[in-house]
Structure 1
Amino acid sequence: MANLFDLTGKNAMIIGGAGGLGQLIAKAYAEAGAKVAIASRNEEKLKAACEELKAATGKEFKYYVCDATVEADVEACAKKSNEDFGHIDILVNSQGINKKYPLVDFPLDEFELTLKGDVTSVMLTCKHFGKYMMKNKYGKIINVTSVRGKIATKGPGNAAYCASKGALDMLTKQVASELGPYGITVNAFGPNIMKTPMMTKVFEMRAKEAGVTVEKYLEDQAAGLPLRRMSDPEDCVGTALFLAAPASDFVTGNIIYPDGGLTAIG
């Protein structure tokens, strides 16, 4: 039982690991014993994240500059990281885009950009890292989706995001079906709206629409949840660790919702 959440001997790649939830997951995996690499488009942010992670854990982290929407980048990242580490056992897709417009005003290029960032990028990482996992007969793939893949919002703005996360949920299930025979589990977890830097502008926009302060808006949102509080990124780390660890070896094709109970009542 003591080894159910032990990642000693495992190598993990966190796409979108230079900040936010991805960086928290990288920290948790390292503390659980894994060797961890992070990847994103911005090298300066990657360097800063590695320094912060080392300061927090005392461990070394590698980084790879990679635009997950560009297949050549993903293919090169998968090849180089597997060469550097010998094998990548755990892949986390925490990258994503969230463009918001009312449906009737939604620019097509922004809609397509959201699908590319939230769905195509995950297909590409699963494709190229999955090839190596298939050879190794082992792997854990964890995708970060959202409650918005399951339930829509009452107000306008989320046509692209809901569509992309719904697609990601089904992509997760299909990849789980295809890669399962090779000893690879593929799951996702879907947080509720979280207090992250990426969501600050969204909170401000929603509060303005409601004619209230941001603080009041967040209080009202929390009051509608069974657990009566908003989610922090830290609330998702345990789920991410579970899905990467031996504890979840017989779990695949599932979406887990660390959402404060929203999907139970939504």
Structure 2
Amino acid sequence: MPKVYSGDLTRLFDISGKKAVIIGGAGGFGKAIAEGYAANGCSVLISSRKEAALKAAVNEIKAVAAPGVVVKYFACDASKEADIMACRDFAVSPNGLGGCDILVCAQGFNKKMWSWEIDTAVWQDMLNTNITSVMFACKYFGNWMKENNLEEGMAKPDPAAYEAGKATPGQGYGKIITFGSVRSIRAVGNGGNGNVPYNTTKGAVEMMTKAFASDLRPNIQVNSLGPTITYTPMMVGLLPPDEKVRDGIAAALPAMRIGREIDMVGPAIFLASAASDFITGSTIYPDGGLTAVG
């Protein structure tokens, strides 16, 4: 619920006591954000298709978590509707986090393909993973927030209307963070061409973020992070192996370096905190200045 704080930055950016679900939290940006949240007092549930990776990530997150923070995991395929519903039900149950204040959709993958060699199966898989799974997560967690994160004086939902699929007056609060990319707005990033499928999905995520922000008004803020080329498990396999070529990529950025996973943590804390209560439907580009120069 929006609150105004004056002269107390510790409260303005405070996420302690909150409960966050991070889809794609076993590695990359998702895991880095989970560690950042847990270190600052926010309980987290991470989700991914890979249970072994989730178990390992949970141990690493617990190692940096503040006292009293709960760290859980739930293995599922977020592109399957039944799976994401099961993830939501577990997350908000007493066995999970007991609720959800923050949703981070950090799932996604890229496979570089020139336009004349686009593989239909890979295209469909990318649509399912990068777009459909984000829609399912925002739909089911967003609706749960709207119906359940209620404070005194907030309008309560009409169960009959909810079951019928109609809009309800539920005014619950929450924060949703999706992951777009500089490729949402640039056909060619500093990773070159050959990204028609990936660019398409990230452009869709940016518009989806705006649409969910409008639908889930007034107390749920939905925003996106749009990173540039970054050292993540996914990107390492796509980066040129030649260090001189990588240095050239870095030199094109005002920041003069390739991004790191930790570069997403500060923006993700901001978008999860009261400091961003008047920001919704927006994209922040932690891109080392790429969008400023091209």
Q: What's the TM-score once normalised by structure 2's chain length?
A: 0.85
Aligned residue for 2:195?
158
Residue correspondence of structure 1 range 60-209 to structure 2 within 5 A:
60-84=70-94, 85-135=97-147, 136=149, 137-153=172-188, 155-181=192-218, 183-204=219-240
Q: Distance in 2 between matches of 1:149 and 1:161?
A: 9
- How far the C-alpha of 1:64 sits from its partner, in A, is 0.5
Q: Percent identity?
A: 49
- How far the C-alpha of 1:50 sits from its partner, in A, is 0.5
Q: How many matched pairs? A: 257
- How far the C-alpha of 1:168 sits from its partner, in A, is 0.3
Provide Cα deviations, 1:99-121, integer angstroms capped at 9, x if missing partner.
Answer: 21110011111112111111111
Quick check: 145-154 or 252-261, which moved more? Answer: 145-154
More helix by share: 1
Q: Distance in 2 between matches of 1:109 and 1:259?
A: 30
- Paired AA for residue 233 in structure 2: P
Work out whether residues 182 and 287 of structure 2, in 8 Å CA contact, stay in contact via their aligned partners in 1: yes
Q: Distance in 2 between matches of 1:194 and 1:175?
A: 27
Q: Distance in 1 between matches of 2:32 and 2:232?
A: 12
- How far the C-alpha of 1:21 sits from its partner, in A, is 1.3
Work out whether residues 195 and 232 of structure 1, in 8 Å CA contact, stay in contact via their aligned partners in 2: yes
- Paired AA for residue 169 in structure 1: E
Residue ranges of structure 2 left out of the alignment (5+ in a row): 1-7, 150-171
Work out whether residues 257 and 288 of structure 2, in 8 Å CA contact, stay in contact via their aligned partners in 1: yes
Provide Cα deviations, 1:76-111, integer angstroms capped at 9, x if missing partner.
Answer: 111121113332000000000212111001111111
- How far the C-alpha of 1:227 sits from its partner, in A, is 1.7
- How far the C-alpha of 1:56 sits from its partner, in A, is 2.5
Q: What's the TM-score once normalised by structure 1's chain length?
A: 0.93
Q: Distance in 2 between matches of 1:79 and 1:131?
A: 12
Work out whether residues 39 and 66 of structure 1, in 8 Å CA contact, stay in contact via their aligned partners in 2: yes
Moved >2 Å (runs of 4+)? 56-60
Residue ranges of structure 1 left out of the alignment (5+ in a row): 208-212
Aligned residue for 2:14?
6
The CA RMSD measured in Å over matched residues stands at: 1.3
SS at match of 2:16: coil
Q: Distance in 2 between matches of 1:95 and 1:122?
A: 8
